[in-house]
Structure 1
């Protein structure tokens, strides 16, 4: 599903250059649930941005579902993002004046799907994440955990190949975090490929594979025995 080969990325600041990714080699099979860990400055956010087509590597290959991701103009990158990827953010990124249903339906608008079908799909995915009764509520009327569930429903609505989650529990308390991870595990059990960037060890062990980054290189990549979140919920 994802193939990364000898990926390099540097940022130039005046006469200085910061080499952030230093030859990353990384493959993800369809249906995997992988966490990417590393301290601040390790390169994990840069890697996620490249995977999400929000940034581009200087060298190396990135192939997503058989498609080489290279030298894309913004229009093509946006189309590929909408086709291949669903995003889950730490800060939810919901539109405050739109209901839960309208937030979930938004990516479908950009795909040109008719309004009636958009709303039906949005309500389906809200039911899937356990928020059917909250579909007409605004984000300000929802708890942190409910907002993240809306964000997950929004990510799923466009039926992406891969979900990319950037610190999805970073703004949540422990109990709520485990509830969100329970939902993510259930989605993965259905076959969805999911990558999670996290700095929390307990969250990482709720995935099936942990990739550790340090100073722009992978220092460990291991399959782990998955801890099921529902035993804590």
Structure 2
């Protein structure tokens, strides 16, 4: 599903250059649930931005579902993001003046779906995350956990190949974090490929594989015995 070969990325600030990614080799098969860990400055956010087509590597190759991701203009990159990727963020990134239903339907608008189809599909995914009864509530009427569930439903609505989650439990308390991870595990069990950036060891062990970054290189990449989130809820 994802093939990364010899990925390098540097940022230039005046006369200085910061080499953030230093030859990353990384493959993810369809249906995997992978966590990416590393301290601040390790390169995990840069890697996620490249995977999400929000940034481009200086050197190396990135292939997603058989498509080489290289030299894309913003219009093509946006189209690929909408087709291939669903995003879940720590800060939820919901539109405050739109209902849960309208937030979930938003990616479908950009895919050109008709209004009725958008609403039906959005409601289907809200039901999937257990929030059908909250469909007409605004984000400020929802708890943190409910907001993240809406964000996950929105990410799923466009039926992406891969879900990218950037610290999806970072703004949540422990109990709510585990509830969100239980939902992510369920989605993965249905076959969805998911990558999670996290700094929380307990959350990482709820995935099936942990990749550790340090100073721009992968120092460890191992399969783990997955801890089921509902055992902790």
Q: What interval of TM-score do these two structures reach, taking the shorter chain for normalisation?
A: over 0.9
- C-alpha separation in 2, matches of 1:62 and 1:175: 36
- C-alpha separation in 2, matches of 1:184 and 1:85: 15
Alpha-carbon RMSD: 0.2
**Deviating 4+ runs (over 3 angstroms):** none
Which residue number in structure 2 is paired with residue 175 of structure 1? Answer: 175
The equivalences for 1:43-62 within 5 A come to: 43-62=43-62
Which residue number in structure 1 is paired with residue 33 of structure 2? Answer: 33
- 1:65 shift after superposition: 0.1
Structure 1 residue runs of 5 or longer lacking an equivalent are none
Is residue 116 of structure 2 the alignment partner of residue 116 of structure 1? yes
SS at match of 1:47: helix
Which residue number in structure 1 is paired with residue 200 of structure 2? Answer: 200
- 1:232 shift after superposition: 1.2
- C-alpha separation in 2, matches of 1:229 and 1:106: 29
TM-score (norm 2): 1.00
- C-alpha separation in 2, matches of 1:162 and 1:82: 11
The equivalences for 1:1-233 within 5 A come to: 1-233=1-233
- C-alpha separation in 1, matches of 2:64 and 2:107: 20
TM-score (norm 1): 1.00
- C-alpha separation in 1, matches of 2:167 and 2:160: 19
- C-alpha separation in 2, matches of 1:194 and 1:231: 21
- Aligned residue pairs total 233
- C-alpha separation in 2, matches of 1:74 and 1:98: 26
1:1-41 Cα offsets, whole Å, 9 max, x none, are 00000000000000000000000000000000000000000
SS at match of 1:182: helix
- C-alpha separation in 2, matches of 1:31 and 1:195: 10
Structure 2 residue runs of 5 or longer lacking an equivalent are none
- C-alpha separation in 2, matches of 1:129 and 1:57: 35
1:111-165 Cα offsets, whole Å, 9 max, x none, are 0000000000000000000001100000000000000000000000000000000
